[in-house]
Chain A
Amino acid sequence: MKYFRRFLLIALFGVLVFGTIFSAQAQDRTVVIGFTASQSGRYNVESTRQINGLNLWLNQVNEAGGIILSDGTVITFNTVFYDDESNTDRVQELYTRLATDDNADFLISPYSSGLTDASAIIAEQYGKIMITTGAASDSTYQKGYSLVFQTYTPASRYLTGALDLLASLDDTVENIAIVHENDKFSTDVSTALNDYAIAMGFNVVLFEGYDSGTTDFAPFINKIQDAAPDAVLGGGHFQDGSTFARQMHEKDLDVKFVALLVAPPEPNFAELGESAIGVIGPSQWEPLAQIDEAAAEAAGMEFYGPSGEEFVTAYMEAYEEEPSYHAAGGYVAGLLLQRAIEDADSLDTQAVKEALDALDLLTFFGHIQFDITPEQHGLQIGHSMMYIQWQGMADALEKDIVWPPEAVTADALYPLNGGE
């Protein structure tokens, strides 16, 4: 009896001690993700969608009970963010604040390459991993950083697929015009496209930029008409791109093929009605593209995260609109971080960085793999663009994927104007 009581006491003590040690090891941890959002200024729309996507991921992970490491630690996520007003003035101040005062464990980039450039330096200086989304310029990843990782297809491969598509549709086309907004992103895309076109044997009859504030494209379209190309490629951002598309239609520009940056994949491009028909645009991701386990199996790759369909359903439930690729990009930025933490089985920056370096998998967003050479560390080399085209009647437009062949949902409408 006496021994039994002593045994009980020892056992109880043991449980207590063990429990204390165990719970000390498995301290639950809330990981802080820091970023700036453009709540005002010109990037307001894209940035908001990007953050919506990120928040959807965060809520899903937290609701599912977080990430559980092998030592039993439960990791949940929280965000801290500030308004960057769509300009770079305060980006560095705000990211420094995120990295120091707010003790952010990981950072997500702002929207746009310009703001990301400014914030990436801070991430690197304070030894924080930053997943970029909405930042396509190649140059950010060619500055010798080691902790910055890109989810988007870089600018240099943004529009090249459209030329592959054109070549597959019509091998008689020779003359093309490349016209672009005169800003960093569109110029990078168009310069790379120009090199690619020349290598493919196209004859670039007009290669010219227009000022970012341009609203009236009429004189420019006259100039394109005079150069007599068969295809027009280029563009810039949503507003100039949609205006340009509308005016090309209004002025009956006689070309067989039009591919523009950024604007066409946006759902409200359809507001242009007839002017939208036949216009092709590169997209980082489309709701129509049903990338899932089966696709991964077919490609012999590992699949991770929700399927395209699951993501679209969840997003529409949360925000009552169809997700754009900005939203998908925001979500996938969080998803990659989650995967890297799981692989690393730790929150240590170096371990998570190595896990990101090693990533090579398929998500609903597409193939993800990072360049790990010192020259352009973090550049996205797995993901590639899809190309959409608006088809149908003016009052019942639908967006179809016309390239690459493995994702096609409809044959491309070619030539424009039904070959009049």
Chain B
Amino acid sequence: MSMLKNLRNPGLWLWMAIVLAVGLWPVITQRASTREEIFTVLLSVVLASSLNILLGYTGYVSFGHIVFFGLGGYVGLFLITAYGWSLWPAMLAGGISSAFLALLLGQAILRLRGAYFALATIGINEAMRAFINNFEPFGGPTGISLNFSVYNDYGGAANALWMLYGVMLALALLNILLSYVVKSSKFGLGLLAIREDEDAAEVMGVVTPRAKTWAYVLSAFLPGVVGVLFFFKNGNIEPPQAFRLHMSIEMLVMVMLGGYGTILGPVLGAAGYQRLRGLLLTSDLFKNIQLTVAGVLLLVIILFIPAGFVGWLRNRFPKLRRFLP
């Protein structure tokens, strides 16, 4: 009952409608290049929003979150090539394997606080990358490649691209809804209590190890699913691109840009970051120093707007909070 009442937040539906409208734009205009740009943004939205469930709600900084994306992608592509699975169960299997890994890891590493946890997640990502590089069933360093004919089952390559885009849009919307439901539930309040003061939360009756672990599992599931989707579209997967630490850090940057702990923050952060990078990369003026420009912008935001864009808006215009979930 309270769940349904919670879902009456006008901001949530407003922003879901906006994301949907933006997502449908390339379908209406039938422009493939816009579709690819928005695909990159939606992928980031899913990754950043998922990370936010852990980072934003519990305050635990996962630096190696990309491990779930890579592992999911590997499991999915393995099942598709070795056992001829269809994409849909493979995506589910990718998500479940990532969630399961988080469940196993969560028990152990969520005991670590602060920077120690962050370092442990880096270690896990690097160990996984090095391990897969030696793991023959997954192709070792050669990775796994799909044959072009795999797209024939989905109406040919051109159709498959539109279909994959549609699925990505649906997952992004699902992820926003999930973030909201988690945050407004009793479970979510427990997580926020952990973020503010873990010891106090424990005293107040939040079973912190279990709550943290479930937040970790939730934040790992969708990255695993979109990992399968992304690498299926990409056509091949290799260890260095599946477990790229840099991409993990980019996810953190997106959450920070938008405002951590909010529903909208990671969405706007992902869109802003990816569009900015896209603009810098394709602009004649900046393409030689785009990395530096991005670094300066990040620094300015960290130093002067630490709450992120949405956080800043919420503080500056308290009346608008209803519309800035």
What residues make up the interface of A, taking CB atoms closer than 8 Å to B? Answer: 39-40, 82-83, 85, 87-90, 92-94, 96-97, 99-101, 114, 117-118, 120-121, 124-126, 139, 142-145, 182-184, 186-188, 209, 211-212
Contact = CB atoms under 8 A, between A and B. Distances in A.
Contacts of B161: 125
Interface in B1-54: 31-33, 35-37, 39-40
B33 A100 contact: yes
27 contacts: A87-B244, A89-B247, A90-B277, A92-B233, A92-B234, A93-B39, A96-B33, A96-B36, A97-B33, A97-B37, A100-B31, A101-B33, A117-B145, A117-B235, A118-B234, A125-B157, A125-B161, A126-B32, A126-B158, A144-B147, A144-B148, A144-B149, A183-B141, A184-B142, A184-B143, A184-B238, A187-B142
Contact of A124 (B130, B157, B281, B291): B157
Interface of B: 31-33, 35-37, 39-40, 130, 133-134, 140-143, 145-149, 157-158, 161, 233-236, 238, 240-241, 244, 246-247, 277-278, 281-282, 287-288, 290-291
B247 to A, nearest CB: 7
Contact of B281 (A83, A99, A182): A83
Contacts of B246: 87
Contacts of A144: 147-149
B33 A118 contact: no
A55 to B, nearest CB: 16
Contacts of A40: 290-291
A309 B149 CA distance: 44
Contacts of A143: 145-148, 235
A124 B148 contact: yes
Interface centre among A125, A145, A187, A209 (most CB of B within 10 A): A125
B235 A182 contact: no
Contact of A88 (B35, B145, B241): B241
A57 B33 CA distance: 29
User: Interface of chain B, helix or strand or loop or mixed?
Assistant: helix
Given A125-B158, A126-B158, 9 more contacts: A40-B290, A85-B281, A85-B291, A89-B241, A90-B277, A96-B36, A125-B157, A143-B146, A182-B134
Given A144-B147, A182-B141, A211-B130, A93 B238 contact: no
Nearest to B159: A125
A118 B235 contact: yes
Given A83-B287, A96-B32, A89 B148 contact: no
Contacts of B148: 121, 124, 143-145
A266 B88 CA distance: 47
B238 A121 contact: no
Nearest to B233: A92
A93 B145 contact: no
A371 B236 CA distance: 22
User: Interface of chain A, helix or strand or loop or mixed?
Assistant: helix
Interface centre among B141, B158, B234 (most CB of A within 10 A): B141
A101 B29 CA distance: 13
B160 to A, nearest CB: 8
A212 B240 contact: yes
Contacts of A99: 32
Nearest to B282: A82
B140 A114 contact: no
Contacts of B240: 114, 183, 212
Contacts of B39: 93
B32 A100 contact: yes
Contacts of A184: 141-143, 238
B140 A187 contact: yes
Interface centre among B133, B148, B161, B278 (most CB of A within 10 A): B148
A89 B246 CA distance: 11
A114 B40 contact: no
A187 B123 CA distance: 25
A182 B233 contact: no
B140 A118 contact: no
Contacts of B146: 143
B122 to A, nearest CB: 14
A90 to B, nearest CB: 7
Contacts of A88: 234, 241
B52 to A, nearest CB: 20
Contacts of A182: 133-134, 140-141
Contacts of B234: 88, 92, 117-118, 121
B238 A114 contact: yes
Nearest to B41: A93
Contacts of A125: 157-158, 161
Nearest to A180: B141
A400 to B, nearest CB: 32
B149 A90 contact: no
Contacts of A101: 31, 33
Interface centre among A40, A82, A209 (most CB of B within 10 A): A40
A369 to B, nearest CB: 22
Given A83-B287, A83-B290, A118-B236, A92 B36 contact: yes
Contacts of B282: 82, 97
